[in-house]
C-alpha cells in the first residue's frame, strides 16, 4: 500500500484531487531497490518511468567505459525515465543506479495513459516538470561545454608553448652545433712538425662546447709555443672564456718573452675583461728543438707527465702556480726540462684523472700511469687517441663529467 503522505510530497502529484490519490493507492505501482541496483541501463528500451518516493539514485553516462561520467543525483519527488513516455520504445539515454535503498512508483505506458484519461491536468504538471528538467539539463550542458572550451583553450595554449619550446630547443641545438664547429675551428687544424720532435693532441668536451683548449705556435724553425688550458666552468660560458684566453695567449706569446711574463700579461687583461669571476688553469711553455729543452710556466694546472728514454714515468715536481683571472699579482711555477731522444712529455687536463665509471670510481693517477705503460712506442697522435679510448671504455655508460684534453710531445 502506498502512503498518501509520500504521494503528496511528489510535486507531480501534489495538485491531484483526493480521488486520484486514492486511485494511485489502489494500484500496485510501488517497487523497491537495494543500494547498488541498476534500475535501468543506457541503451535499454524505455518501456516505463519511475517516480522516487524515498532514497537517492545516481544518473551515469557511458557507464563502465573510459568516458564514464556522473550527470546528477535524484532524490524523493524526482522522476526518472520520463522520455519513455514521449518516445515509445525509445532507448534510455543514461544509466540509473540506486545509491540508497529506494522506494519508487513504476509506471508503464498503460498505467500512465489511464491516469491521463481520468485526470488530464496531470499532463500539464508533468510537462512543467519535464520543462524544468530540460532547462536544468541545458544549463548543465552549457556549463559543461564552457568548461570543455576552457580546457581546450588551455590545452591549445599549452600546445603552442610546447611547440615554441621545441622550436627554441631546435634553434639552440643548431646554435650549439655551430658553436662547437667554431670552437673546434679555433684549435689548430694541423700541428707543427718540428725537426726531431712530433706533436699529438685531442680534445673531448663534456658538453656540446667546453672550456679546455690547446695550441701549438711556430715562432721560428727551432722555437714552438705549447699551450694547454682548462676554464673553470663548462658549456657556453666556458667556451667563450676559453676563446678569449687562447686569443690573448696567442697575442702575447713571443719567442723572446718568458712563459711566466706571457702569463702575467694575459692575467692582467683577463682581470680587466672578466666580470663573472671565471678563471683558467694553464701551462704555457716554449720548446726549443735545437737545445731539446722545454721551458714552461704553470698557472694552477696539473703537472706534466715526463716519460724518460728508459720508459719510466714521472709527474714533474710542483711549485707554487696560481690560476689566471683571480689575482692581480699571481705567482707562477716556472721550470724547464730536457727532452733527450726517446723521451716524451704529456700535458693534460684534470678531466682524465677525474673521469668516473658507473660505480663512481675515479680513473685516477694510478690508472693513468698504467695506461701510459701500454702505449709506449706509439706515435704522439696515436698515443692521444688510444688514451682517450681507454678513458671512454673505463667510463662506460657513466656521463662524462668534465672536458678531456691531451697534448703529447715525443722527442725523436
Domain harbouring 90, CATH code: 2.60.120.10
Q: Which among 317, 314, 346 has a CA at the least distance from the CA of 410?
A: 346
Q: Do 259 and 114 fall within a single domain?
A: no
Question: Are residues 372 and 230 part of one domain?
Answer: yes
Looking at the structure, tell me whether residues 113 and 203 fall in a common domain: no
User: What is residue 115's predicted lDDT score, i.e. its pLDDT?
Assistant: 76
Question: What's the average model confidence in pLDDT over 23-27?
Answer: 70
Helices (H) and strands (E) in the chain, counts: 9, 18
C-beta atoms surrounding 140 within 10 Å: 12
Beta bridge pairs of residue 97? 38, 58
- Residue 286 and residue 296: Cα distance in Å, rounded? 6
Give the mean model confidence (pLDDT) for residues 1-16: 67
Q: Is the pLDDT of residue 361 over 90?
A: yes
Residues in the chain: 412
- For residues 256, 260, 265, 267, the Cα torsion angle rounded to the nearest 10 degrees is 160
Kindly tell me if the per-residue pLDDT of 359 is higher than 80. yes
220 plus 311 within the same structural domain? yes
Q: Please report whether residue 343 resides in a domain.
A: yes
Residues whose CB is less than 8 angstroms from the CB of residue 222 and which lie 6 or more positions away in sequence, other chains included: 194, 195, 288, 289, 290, 291
Cβ-in-10-Å burial (0-12, 13-18, 19+) of 292 comes to: middle
- When divided into structural domains, the chain yields a total of 2
Considering the domain boundaries, does residue 136 fall inside one? no
Q: Are residues 219 and 360 in the same domain?
A: yes
Same domain, 198 and 93: no
Confidence class of residue 183 from pLDDT cuts 50, 70 and 90?
low
Three cell numbers, residue 290: 735545437
Inside any domain, residue 74: yes
Percent of the residues in the chain that have a pLDDT greater than 90, as a whole number: 48
The pLDDT score that the predictor gives to residue 90 is 73
C-alpha cell at 204: 673531448
Tell me the residue range of the domain where 35 lies.
Answer: 4-119
Task: Decide if pLDDT at 74 tops 60.
Answer: yes
Last residue of a domain, one of 62, 86, 119: 119
Indicate whether 107 and 196 sit together in one domain.
no
Residue 327 belongs to a domain with what CATH number?
3.60.40.10
Residue 12 included in any domain: yes
Instruction: Kindly state the average pLDDT of the residues 195-217.
Output: 89
pLDDT of residue 238: 83
Q: Answer yes or no: are the C-beta atoms of 179 and 239 closer than 8 Å.
A: yes
pLDDT band at 404 (very low <50, low <70, confident <90, very high): very high
Q: Are residues 227 and 303 in the same domain?
A: yes
Question: Rounded to an integer, what distance in angstroms lies between the CA atom of residue 299 and that of residue 137?
Answer: 80
Q: Is residue 104 part of a domain?
A: yes
What pLDDT sits at residue 357?
Answer: 92
91 and 223 in one domain? Answer: no
Q: Are residues 14 and 105 both part of a single domain?
A: yes
Predicted confidence (pLDDT) at residue 8 exceeds the cutoff of 70: no
**pTM of the predicted model over 0.85:** no
Mean pLDDT of the 323-341 span: 94
- Listed as own residue / partner, the contacts of 42-46 with beta carbons closer than 8 Å and 24 or more positions apart are 42/91, 42/92, 42/93, 42/94, 42/95, 43/91, 43/92, 44/91, 44/92, 45/89, 45/90, 45/91, 45/92, 46/81, 46/83, 46/84, 46/87, 46/89, 46/90, 46/91, 46/92
Q: Is the pLDDT of residue 146 over 70?
A: yes
H or E element in which residue 165 lies: helix 121-186
Is 177 part of a structural domain of the chain?
Answer: no
**Cα dist from 275 to 51, 269, 272, 286, 300, whole Å:** 81, 12, 8, 30, 20
Domain boundary among the residues 78, 98, 119 is at: 119
DSSP structure class, residue 361: -
Residues 393 and 290 in one domain: yes
Judge whether 290 and 364 are in contact, CB under 8 Å.
Answer: no
Domain-embedded: residue 110: yes
Does 118 have pLDDT greater than 60?
A: yes
- Tell me which of 98, 119, 140 is where a domain ends: 119
Q: Number of C-alpha atoms within 13 angstroms, CB side, residue 123?
A: 10
My answer on whether 264 and 367 are in the same domain is yes
In a domain, residue 159? The reply is: no
Identify the pLDDT of residue 69.
86
Amino acid at each position: 500500500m502506498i502512503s498518501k503522505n509520500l504521494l503528496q510530497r511528489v510535486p507531480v502529484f501534489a495538485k491531484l484531487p483526493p480521488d486520484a490519490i486514492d486511485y494511485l493507492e489502489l494500484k500496485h505501482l510501488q517497487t523497491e531497490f537495494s543500494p547498488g541496483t541498476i534500475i535501468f541501463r543506457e541503451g535499454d528500451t524505455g518501456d516505463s518511468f519511475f517516480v522516487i518516493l524515498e532514497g537517492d539514485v545516481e544518473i551515469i553516462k557511458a557507464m563502465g567505459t573510459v568516458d564514464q561520467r556522473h550527470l546528477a543525483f535524484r532524490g524523493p519527488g524526482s522522476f526518472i525515465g520520463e522520455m519513455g513516455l514521449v518516445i515509445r520504445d525509445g532507448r534510455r539515454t543514461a544509466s540509473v543506479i540506486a545509491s540508497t535503498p529506494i522506494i519508487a512508483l513504476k509506471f508503464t505506458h498503460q498505467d500512465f495513459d489511464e491516469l491521463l484519461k481520468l485526470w488530464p491536468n496531470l499532463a500539464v504538471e508533468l510537462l512543467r516538470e519535464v520543462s524544468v528538467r530540460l532547462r536544468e539539463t541545458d544549463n548543465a550542458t552549457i556549463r559543461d561545454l564552457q568548461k570543455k572550451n576552457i580546457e581546450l583553450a588551455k590545452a591549445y595554449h599549452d600546445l603552442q608553448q610546447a611547440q615554441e619550446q621545441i622550436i627554441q630547443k631546435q634553434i639552440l641545438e643548431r646554435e650549439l652545433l655551430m658553436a662547437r664547429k667554431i670552437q673546434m675551428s679555433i684549435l689548430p687544424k694541423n700541428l707543427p712538425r718540428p725537426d726531431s720532435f712530433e706533436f699529438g693532441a685531442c680534445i673531448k668536451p663534456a658538453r656540446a662546447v667546453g672550456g679546455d683548449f690547446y695550441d701549438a705556435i711556430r715562432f721560428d724553425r727551432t722555437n714552438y709555443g705549447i699551450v694547454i688550458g682548462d676554464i673553470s666552468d663548462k658549456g657556453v660560458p666556458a667556451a667563450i672564456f676559453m676563446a678569449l684566453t687562447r686569443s690573448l695567449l696567442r697575442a702575447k706569446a713571443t719567442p723572446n718573452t718568458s712563459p711566466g711574463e706571457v702569463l702575467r700579461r694575459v692575467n692582467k687583461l683577463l682581470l680587466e675583461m672578466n666580470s663573472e669571476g671565471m678563471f683558467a688553469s694553464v701551462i704555457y711553455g716554449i720548446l726549443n728543438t735545437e737545445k731539446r729543452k722545454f721551458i714552461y710556466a704553470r698557472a694552477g694546472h696539473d703537472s706534466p707527465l715526463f716519460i724518460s728514454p728508459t720508459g719510466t714515468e714521472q709527474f714533474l715536481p710542483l711549485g707554487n702556480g696560481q690560476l689566471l683571472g683571480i689575482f692581480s699579482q699571481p705567482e707562477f711555477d716556472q721550470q724547464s726540462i730536457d727532452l733527450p731522444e726517446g723521451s716524451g712529455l704529456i700535458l693534460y687536463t684534470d678531466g682524465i684523472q677525474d673521469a668516473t665509471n658507473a660505480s663512481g670510481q675515479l680513473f685516477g693517477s694510478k690508472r693513468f700511469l698504467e695506461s701510459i705503460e701500454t702505449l709506449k712506442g706509439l706515435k704522439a697522435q696515436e698515443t692521444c687517441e688510444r688514451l682517450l679510448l681507454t678513458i671512454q671504455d673505463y667510463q662506460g655508460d657513466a656521463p662524462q663529467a668534465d672536458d678531456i684534453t691531451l697534448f703529447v710531445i715525443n722527442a725523436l
